[in-house]
């Protein structure tokens, strides 16, 4: 799955995770933003959202997902390559800079460092974004780190696969199934945002998306040629169990398998 073009953005792997500290931080953005819709639950845990049509237990419980974006960045404080998870306030600011006359750029990443200032706590946390006054080209060592890490496809795909492989749950909308584990009950309850009318109807869904993902993963892993993978990719539209979210995961897996076959051919 490629990064998201700034023109297509709308308000809502490898490497260490970067957390913005209080005060000022200087980072170098080295990737396009990757969009990820998640549910946040108690204990700061998060789960990739597959949507109600994909059997997402949180959506079916009436919880609203939250859209975040992943950037691969270089932390100027220690020079390490990291992954930063940010909200629209930061991505939107970068987009505005890209479209401006003074700081505009026509490449995937800003040519300058980004200075982010974090203030406040909790729901009052605010992020202010500034562009560095001069361009900061990547060094050979930095480019090597980026090349070795690759893009964020693997990380995003794994987050979605964990959501698919997990038990989609069987509960009334807005209610908690007694057969679910205590942890699941707590997570669903903590993530739920009640809506008018929620809690009266029982969704009709099976474990089709979960079984479909397992079958497609096995089929992709068994493919021995690019032709087989192309044929498999063309068949996803005929599998009624494949939701849009699962289709994206399957295509990412096919892309990864093609890369593996290419490496095997070179060897």
Query: What per-residue confidence (pLDDT) applies to 179?
Result: 43
Q: Higher-confidence residue: 48 or 189?
A: 48
Residues 138 and 217 in one domain: no
CB-based burial, 204-232: b 16+ in 10 Å, e otherwise: ebeebbbebbeebbebbeebeeeebbeeb
Query: What per-residue confidence (pLDDT) applies to 13?
Result: 45
Query: What per-residue confidence (pLDDT) applies to 192?
Result: 45
Residues 233 and 190 in one domain: no
Does residue 174 lie within any of the structural domains? Answer: no
Does residue 171 lie within any of the structural domains? Answer: no
Query: What per-residue confidence (pLDDT) applies to 119?
Result: 93
Residues 133 and 212 in one domain: no
Section 118-130 average pLDDT: 89
Range of weakest confidence among 13-27, 35-49, 172-186, 219-233:
172-186
Query: What per-residue confidence (pLDDT) applies to 167?
Result: 39
Does residue 175 lie within any of the structural domains? Answer: no
Cβ neighbours of residue 188 under 8 Å, at least 6 residues apart?
41, 57, 58, 61, 63, 169, 171, 176, 180
Query: What per-residue confidence (pLDDT) applies to 212?
Result: 76
Does residue 63 lie within any of the structural domains? Answer: yes
Mean pLDDT of the chain: 75
Query: What per-residue confidence (pLDDT) applies to 48?
Result: 79
Query: What per-residue confidence (pLDDT) applies to 42?
Result: 60
In a 3-state reduction of DSSP, which class is residue 138? Answer: coil
Does residue 242 lie within any of the structural domains? Answer: yes
Range of weakest confidence among 18-27, 99-108, 212-221:
212-221
Per-residue confidence band for 68, with pLDDT thresholds at 50, 70 and 90:
confident
Residues 186 and 230 in one domain: no
> Looking at the predicted structure, is the pLDDT value of residue 170 above 70?
no
Residues 22 and 96 in one domain: yes
**Residues 238/216, Cβ–Cβ less than 8 Å:** no
> Looking at the predicted structure, is the pLDDT value of residue 266 above 90?
no
pTM above 0.75, yes or no: no
Residues 186 and 212 in one domain: no
**Residues 232/219, Cβ–Cβ less than 8 Å:** yes
**Residues 171/177, Cβ–Cβ less than 8 Å:** yes
Query: What per-residue confidence (pLDDT) applies to 245?
Result: 67
Residues 192 and 228 in one domain: no
Q: How many domains does the chain have?
A: 2
Residues 221 and 188 in one domain: no
Residues 11 and 93 in one domain: yes
Section 117-145 average pLDDT: 90
Query: What per-residue confidence (pLDDT) applies to 184?
Result: 53
- Domain hosting 264: range is 206-267
């Amino acid at each position: 799955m490629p990064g998201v073009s700034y023109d297509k953005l709308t308000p809502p792997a490898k490497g260490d995770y970067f957390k913005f500290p209080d005060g000022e931080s200087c980072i170098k953005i080295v990737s396009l933003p990757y969009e990820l819709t998640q549910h946040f639950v108690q204990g700061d845990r998060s789960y990739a959202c597959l949507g109600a049509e994909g059997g997402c237990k949180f959506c079916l419980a009436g919880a609203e997902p939250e859209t975040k974006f992943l950037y691969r960045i270089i932390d100027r404080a220690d020079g390490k390559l990291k992954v930063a998870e940010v909200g629209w306030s930061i991505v939107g600011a970068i987009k505005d800079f890209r479209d401006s006359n003074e700081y505009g750029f026509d490449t995937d990443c800003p040519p300058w460092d980004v200075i982010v200032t974090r203030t406040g706590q909790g729901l009052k946390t605010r992020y202010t974004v500034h562009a560095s006054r001069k361009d900061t080209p990547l060094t050979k060592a930095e480019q090597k780190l980026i090349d070795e890490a690759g893009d964020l496809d693997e990380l995003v795909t794994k987050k979605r696969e964990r959501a698919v492989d997990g038990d989609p749950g069987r509960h009334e909308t807005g209610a908690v199934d007694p057969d679910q584990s205590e942890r699941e009950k707590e997570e669903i309850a903590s993530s739920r945002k009640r809506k008018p009318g929620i809690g009266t109807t029982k969704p009709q869904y099976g474990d089709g998306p979960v079984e479909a993902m397992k079958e497609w993963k096995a089929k992709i892993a068994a493919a021995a040629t690019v032709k087989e993978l192309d044929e498999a990719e063309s068949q996803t539209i005929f599998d009624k169990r494949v939701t849009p979210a699962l289709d994206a995961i399957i295509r990412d897996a096919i892309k990864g398998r093609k890369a593996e076959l290419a490496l095997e051919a070179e060897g």
